[in-house]
Amino acid sequence: MPFTTYSTHPYKDQRPGTSGLRKRVEVFRQGNYLKNFVQSVIDTQRELVGGTLVLGGDGRFFNREAIQVILKMAAANGVARVFVGQGGLLSTPAASCVIRKYAAAGGLILSASHNPGGPDGDFGIKYNTANGGPAPEKVTEAIFARSLEIANFLSSNAGDVDIDTLGTVMLDKMKIEIIDPVADYAELMQSIFDFDAIRALLAGGFRMRFDAMHAVTGPYAVRIFEELLGAPAGTVINGQPLEDFGGHHPDPNLVHAAELVAMTRGADGVDFAAASDGDGDRNMILGRDFFVTPSDSLAVLAANATLIPAHAGGIPGVARSMPTSQAVDRVANALNIACFETPTGWKFFGNLLDDGRIAFCGEESFGTGSSHVREKDGLWAVLAWLNVLAARSQSVADIVNQHWQQYGRNYYSRHDYEGVSTKKANSLMDALRARLPSLPGTLLEGVEIAYADDFSYTDPIDGSVSAKQGIRIGFADGSRVVFRLSGTGTVGATLRVYLESYEPDPTRQQMETQSALARLIAAAESVANIASTIDRQSPDVIT
Ligand code: VG1
Ligand code: CO
pLDDT band for position 2 (50/70/90)?
A: very low
What is the mean predicted confidence (pLDDT) over 167-191?
Answer: 98
Bigger pLDDT: 491 or 96? 96
**pLDDT beyond 50 at 43:** yes
401 in ligand 1 pocket by Cβ < 6 Å?
A: no
What is the mean predicted confidence (pLDDT) over 452-472?
Answer: 96
For the CA of 345, the nearest atom of ligand 1: 10
Percentage of residues in the chain with pLDDT exceeding 70? 96
Q: pLDDT digits over 15-38, tens only? A: 445 557 889 999 999 889 999 999
pLDDT band for position 510 (50/70/90)?
A: very high
CA–centroid distance, residue 345 to ligand 1 (Å):
6
DSSP H/E element including 203: helix 195-203
pTM of the model: 0.93
Alpha carbon nearest to ligand 1 atom 8, residue: 365
DSSP H/E element including 426: helix 422-435
User: What values do phi and psi take at 474, rounded to 5?
Assistant: -105, 140
- Burial per residue of 41-63, b for 16 or more beta-carbon CB atoms within 10 angstroms, e otherwise: bbbbbeebeebbbbbbbbbbbbb
Alpha carbon nearest to ligand 1 atom 2, residue: 365
Bigger pLDDT: 3 or 430? 430
490 in ligand 1 pocket by Cβ < 6 Å?
A: no
345 in ligand 1 pocket by Cβ < 6 Å?
A: yes
* Residue 445 CB neighbours (<10 A): 15
For the CA of 363, the nearest atom of ligand 1: 9
CA–centroid distance, residue 346 to ligand 1 (Å):
8
- If one residue of 295, 488, 497 were mutated to test the ligand 1 pocket, choosing by the most ligand atoms within 8 A of its CB, it would be 488
Alpha carbon nearest to ligand 1 atom 18, residue: 113
402 in ligand 1 pocket by Cβ < 6 Å?
A: no
Q: 288 and 270 in contact (C-beta within 8 Å)?
A: yes
The pLDDT assigned to 181 comes to: 98
pLDDT band for position 11 (50/70/90)?
A: very low
pLDDT band for position 200 (50/70/90)?
A: very high
**pLDDT beyond 80 at 10:** no
Alpha carbon nearest to ligand 1 atom 20, residue: 113
List the catalytic residue out of 40, 91, 111, 113: 113
For the CA of 277, the nearest atom of ligand 1: 18
The pLDDT assigned to 8 comes to: 38
CA–centroid distance, residue 268 to ligand 2 (Å):
31
Percentage of residues in the chain with pLDDT exceeding 90? 89
The dihedral through the CA atoms of 177, 376, 400, 237 has a sign that is: negative
Cα angle 26, 29, 33; round to 5: 115
The pLDDT assigned to 19 comes to: 57
Q: pLDDT digits over 288-336, tens only? A: 999 999 999 999 999 999 999 999 999 999 999 999 999 999 999 999 9
18 in ligand 1 pocket by Cβ < 6 Å?
A: yes
CA–centroid distance, residue 477 to ligand 2 (Å):
34
Alpha carbon nearest to ligand 1 atom 13, residue: 486
**pLDDT beyond 60 at 123:** yes
> Domains, the chain, ranges and CATH?
3-181 (3.40.120.10), 185-407 (3.40.120.10), 409-542 (3.30.310.50)
Ligand index nearest the alpha carbon of residue 497: 1
Q: Do the bridges between strand 283-287 and strand 290-292 make them parallel or antiparallel, or are there none, so unpaired? A: antiparallel
The pLDDT assigned to 176 comes to: 98
Q: pLDDT digits over 432-441, tens only? A: 999 999 999 9
For the CA of 496, the nearest atom of ligand 1: 16
CA–centroid distance, residue 274 to ligand 2 (Å):
15
113 catalytic? Reply is: yes
The pLDDT assigned to 489 comes to: 72
**pLDDT beyond 70 at 6:** no
Q: 482 and 528 in contact (C-beta within 8 Å)?
A: no
Q: pLDDT digits over 44-63, tens only? A: 999 999 999 999 999 999 99
The Cα–Cα gap between 214 and 237 comes to: 8
CA–centroid distance, residue 188 to ligand 2 (Å):
20
DSSP H/E element including 55: strand 52-57
